[in-house]
Chain A
Amino acid sequence: MTQPADNRVRSIVIVGGGTAGWMTAAALASRLDGLGCEITLVESAEIGTVGVGEATLPNIRAFNRMLGIDEAELMARTSATIKLGIEFCDWGQVGDSYIHPFGDFGDAIGAADFHQYWLQQRDAENTKDFGDYCLAIRAAKAGRFDLPAPNPASRRHAFAYAFQFDASLYGAFLADYAQARGVQRIEGKITDARCDGETGFVRSVMLEDGRKMEGDLWIDCSGFRGLLIEQHLQTGYDDWSEYLWSNRAWAVPCETVAPVHPYTRATAREAGWQWRIPLQHRVGNGLVYCDRYIDDQAAVDLLMANLEGEALADPKQLFFKTGKRRKLWNRNVVAIGLSGGFLEPLESTSIDLIQNGIMNLIELFPGRECAEGDAGEYNRLMDLEFGRVRDFLMLHYAANQREEDDMWREYREMELPDSLQAKIDAFRQRGLVPQYANGLFQPPSWLSVFIGQNIFPESYDPRAETIPEKNLSAHFVEIDADLEKLVAAMPEHREFIETYGAAFDAGAVGMPAQ
C-alpha cells in the first residue's frame, strides 16, 4: 500500500506563464518527476506578462542548482550580469550613497559582533567607512568579481552573488526546461472556472475557445488580478498601502553606455525612487512612485531625464497595490507571484518571494484533499516572510533625513508597525540587529541600511571595550589591506563573464546580435 491512491494529486494546472508560472512549472517538473503527476501551464499571448523583477537575490542560485541548471548557460541565455548588492543613492540624505551587499562585514575579532568594534572605533583617525570592510562592496565598487572561495575560513568566502537578468528571457529559459520535462503548455484565455459545490475547490476552467481543463491542484500565477484566488475564490487582500505607499511605476530600457556594474542602483527621487539594472545588452530602468506626490507625466519625465543611455523603447506604466493575499493557499488554489502579493520592487524581493512560495509548496505538497493543515502552515510561513520583508522595505523609507520633499518627510513621521519600531529602537540604542534563522534578510542586510541611512547607535556592546584600541586599529588595517589585495586579484566584471562562458548569445534567443 502506498499513499491512499485516490488522494494523490494527479494533475496540476498552472494558470499564467511569466516568471512565476515558469519558475513554478520548472520546479514542480523537476521535483515531482516520477510521480505520474501531469503538469499543465495555460497562458495567453494576448494577456502578456508584467515581467516582474530583473534583479535577483542570491537565493536564486540555490533554486537554479536544485533544477540542475548550468549557471554559465543560464547567464548566456538571459543576458545576465553579476549582482553583488544594491547601491542606494540619496536615501538617507541627498548626496548619500551606500551599498547593501550580499556579504558579511569584517570578521570575528572578539566576543562582540564586528560592527560593535567598528562603532567603537568609527571616529578614530584610521577607521574607514563601514562598507569598506566588506569584500562584496569593495569588489562591486571596483567593478570586479570572482567566484567565492569554497573554504569557509577564507575571507573570499564571506560573500554571495545573484544575477541581474532579463526576466522574460529567464521565463523563456525555464519554459524550455519545463517543457523538456513533460510540462504541457496550453495557449488559451481562461473565461470561467467551476468550483465544487460542497468543498468550494476549483475543479475546472473554461477556455475562450470552449476547451475545458480539469485539475486537482491549481497554481494561480495570473498576476495582480488573481484569476482564481481572487476572482473566483474571493480570498481577499491585505492592503499594505498604508505602510508602503508606492502604487505606480514607469519602466524603460536604455542602451549601455558605462562599464557594466556588478550591482543594481536605487536612487531616491522626490516622490519615489529610480532603479537602474545593468544587463549585458541593455540597462533596465524604472521609476517607482506614489501618485499622491507626483503625477504620471511628471514621473515619466523624471525617469526619461535621468537615463544614462538612449531609450530603447517607449516607457511602460505599471499599477499596483502593495500588500498580500489574505490566504496565499485557499482550498486547492495556491497563489504564487503577483497574484499572491506584491510589496514593491525595492530590494528585488519579487522573484525571491516566488521562489519562497514554490519551495514551501514543495515542502508542503498536498494530497488531493488539500488538507487544511497543509494550507494553514503554508500561509503561516508565507505571512511570516511577507511581514519580515515589509519591515525591511519600510526601513528604507522611514530612516531618511531628506528635508525637501513631502513624501519623505511624511514617511519619517509615520507610525511604524511595532515589529519594525522595535528593530529600529534596538539598533538605535545599542546596535542590536534582528536575528532569525529562517528569514530572507539577515544581520548584514539590516546593518547596511541602518548605518547607510545614518542610524547610529547611542552606545555599543560593552564587550567591544575589552580589546585594546591599538589592537583593534591594527585589526582594521589588516582587514582593509587584505580586502584590497583580494579585490585586485579579481578579474573585471566583463572579463569574468567572458571567461566564465556566460557572454550573452543574442542569436540563441532570437534577438539581433550585439
Chain B
Amino acid sequence: MTQESRPLASIALFGKPHGVWPAAAVLQKQLPERISLTIVEDNAGAGHRTACLLPAKSPLHDLLDIRLEELAEQCHGRYSLALEWQGWPNESSRFFSAPSGGLPLIEGLELHHILLRAARMHGKPSDLGHLYEPFRFAARAASAGKFAWPDTSGLSPAAMLGPAAHVESSAYAELLKGKVDLGRVIVHHAVPHEVRQEKDGGGIRSVKLDNGISIAADFFVDVSGQLSDLVGEKLDSGRQSLAPLLPFDRVISGARSAKSGSLASHPVIRALPGGVLSEIPLADKIASEFLFVSSLVDEEGAKNAIGIDKKSAAFEAFFLDRPWTENLVRIGEAATRLGSQFDSDQRLLAEEIILLASHLPARNRMQAEAATYNAQQAARCEEIRDFALLPFTLSRSDGDFLDIARSGEIPESLKLRIDQFKSRGRFVPYDHELIDRQQWLEMLIGFGLVPARHDPLADALDMHKIQPALKRLADSFNRAIAGMDDHR
C-alpha cells in the first residue's frame, strides 16, 4: 500500500451470525472507542451448521466472561466429556477421544514407554492399547456414561477433564451478540456485492453491499468467505486444497427432534459408506452433518444418512497460507474448512479471533502484523488440520473414502509426528499447540499405532517396583470414575 500512514480508525466485519458476533464481541471489548466497528451480518441462515462444540478451555470465553457451565442452558445444548468414534479404526470398533490433561511422568518417562516395555516382555507389543486403556481417564469416564466438571483444585483425577458444550449455533450467535454494545456499532443486514480496491491494486478501499450501501474502512475482516470471493486472486491468500486427504465434495446438515432420554450423551463421529456422519446431541434434538463423496453417495443416500429432508451443498476442505493480505484478514470459514471432526472449524475460529485481537493493526500500514499473524495462524491451523487428518490416515477400515484419503500425501508435520511415534514412541512437540499432548497420544495409540521401540531408558526400570505405582494410578482413576455422576 502506498497511502500515507495514519492510525487505524475503522474496522468492518462481514459474515454469518455464528462467526461475525464472536469476532465483534472480542474486538469491541478490546479496542479503544475511537476505532469504529461496522458489522455486515448475513443472516440469510443458509450454509452454516446447526450445532457446534465449544471446548472447556477457551480464551475467547474467558475474555467475554462466559462460563462453560452456563453455555448449554443458554444455547439449548448439552455437555460431554468426549467424542465417540464409531467404525474407526476398524469397522466394528467404538473409540472415545477426550481432552485429557496430562498423565504424570513415571521415573521421568511417559507411561506408554513403560507399558510398551511391559507388552514386549510378554511378547505382545500389540497389547499396548489394551494396557493403556485403564489410564485413559476422561475417555473411560465418557464411555461409562459419567460426567463431572474439572476439579479446579488440581488434587483429583477430575482435574484432567476437559468437557465441551454442544450448543445450537444460532443461539450461540445470539448469546455473543448480546455481549456487543449495539449502540456503539453500525450493523447492516446484507451481503457484500462489489469491492473497490486501492488504485495501486493494494488493499480494499470500500465494499458495496447488495442493498446499495457502501462501506469504507481501514481494515476488513471476512468471516464467511463472501468478501474473499469478490476480491478473488487480487489479494492472493494462497489457498491450499485438502481434497486429496479429506475427499468429501458435498455436505448435508440439519437437526431433527428427539426425546431427551433417547439421545446419546456425547457427539458421535460415524464412518459410513461414502462419508462421515457427525451427530451432536442438543437439549431436545440431534444435529447431524454428513460429509460425503458425491461419486459414492447420491443425494437420496445423503438425506437418509442424516434422516432429514434437506439439500446438500458443495464442500471443499482447505486452508489459507496467507489469510491476511493487505488490509483484509480472513477468519473462520473464510480461512479454513476442515469439517466436523472435533469441530475443528469452530475451534479455529475462536483461536483466530484471539490471535487477531493480539495482532490488530495500529495503523493503516499493517504488513508486519499480517506477516506475524499469518505465521502464527499457520502453526495453529497445521496442528488442528493434522489432528483432523489423523483418523483418516490411521484408520484400518476398508472404506471407499478412506482408501482415497489414505492415498493422499500427508503433510510433513503430521508425517514426522507419526513416523517418530511409530519408530520410537516419541511425541514431536511443535510451537503454538492447542490440543493436549495426552489427547494426541491416546489417538495415536487408540488408532493402533504400536511403536517399534520404547524409550531405551525404560529398560533401566525395575518393573516389579513400577507395577504397584501403575496400579495405584489406575485405582485412583477407577475410584474417581465410580464417584462421578451419571451423565443423564
Contact = CB atoms under 8 A, between A and B. Distances in A.
Nearest to B5: A458
Interface residues of A, number: 43
A212 B195 CA distance: 77
B453 A367 contact: yes
A429 B420 contact: no
A432 interface: yes
Interface residues of B toward A: which range? 35 or more
B35 A429 contact: no
B361 to A, nearest CB: 7
A462 B27 CA distance: 11
B453 A430 contact: no
B337 interface: no
B369 A429 contact: yes
A365 B455 contact: yes
**Chain B CB within 10 A, most for which of A9, A31, A363, A459:** A459
Given A425-B371, A460-B362, A371 B423 contact: yes
B419 to A, nearest CB: 6
Contact of B31 (A31, A34, A428, A466): A466
Interface string B353-381: 00001111111011111011001100000
Nearest to A37: B456
Given A1-B120, A3-B453, A429 B424 contact: no
Given A3-B120, A8-B459, A466-B30, A373 B420 contact: yes
Contacts of B416: 377, 380
A374 B121 CA distance: 24
Contact of B360 (A380, A436, A438, A461): A461
Given A1-B120, A364-B426, A461 B362 contact: yes
Given A1-B121, A111-B357, A428-B368, A32 B455 contact: no
A111 B368 contact: no
B432 A2 contact: no
B404 to A, nearest CB: 27
A463 B31 contact: yes
A2 B357 contact: no
A429 B360 contact: no
A437 interface: yes
A429 B453 contact: no
Contacts of A362: 457
A462 B31 contact: yes
Contact of A373 (B30, B371, B424): B424
B35 A462 contact: yes
B377 to A, nearest CB: 12
B408 interface: no
Contact of A425 (B120, B367, B428): B367
A3 B456 contact: yes
Given A1-B121, A429-B368, A463-B357, A35 B31 contact: no
Contacts of A459: 7, 362-363
A377 B359 CA distance: 32
B459 A432 contact: no
A33 interface: yes
A308 interface: no
Nearest to A113: B358
A192 interface: no
A406 interface: no
Nearest to A428: B368
A35 B123 contact: no
Nearest to A434: B372
B379 to A, nearest CB: 9
A153 to B, nearest CB: 15
A231 B383 CA distance: 41
A2 B423 contact: no
A111 B8 CA distance: 18
Contacts of B32: 462-463, 465-466
B457 A437 contact: no
A430 B361 contact: yes
Given A437-B432, A459-B363, A426 B371 contact: yes
Contacts, number: 121
Interface string A308-344: 0000000000000000000000000000000000000
B431 interface: yes
Interface string A410-440: 0000000000001001101110100111100
Interface string B312-348: 0000000000000000000000000000000000000
Contacts of B376: 435
Contacts of A3: 120, 453-454, 456, 459
Contacts of A366: 456
A9 B456 contact: yes
Nearest to A439: B431
A33 B457 CA distance: 9
Contacts of B459: 2-3, 8, 34-35
A119 to B, nearest CB: 10
Contact of B457 (A31, A432, A435): A31
A373 to B, nearest CB: 5
A430 B362 contact: yes
Interface string A4-46: 0001110000000000000000000001111100000000000
B117 interface: yes
A492 B251 CA distance: 69
B201 interface: no
B429 interface: yes
Contacts of A2: 117, 120-121, 459
A465 B33 CA distance: 9
Contacts of A7: 453
B359 A432 contact: yes
Contacts of A8: 456, 459
A363 B428 CA distance: 11
18 contacts: A7-B453, A9-B456, A34-B459, A366-B456, A373-B419, A373-B423, A377-B420, A425-B367, A426-B369, A426-B372, A429-B368, A430-B361, A437-B429, A438-B431, A459-B7, A462-B361, A463-B360, A466-B32
Given A429-B365, A463-B30, 11 more contacts: A2-B459, A8-B459, A34-B459, A35-B459, A111-B63, A422-B372, A426-B371, A430-B362, A437-B431, A462-B360, A463-B357
Q: Top 10 A-B pairs ranked by shortest CB distance?
A: A34-B460, A459-B362, A429-B368, A465-B32, A426-B368, A436-B431, A437-B431, A35-B460, A426-B372, A373-B423
Interface of B: 5, 7-8, 30-32, 34-35, 63, 117, 120-123, 357-363, 365-369, 371-372, 375-376, 416, 419-420, 423-424, 426, 428-429, 431-433, 453-457, 459-461
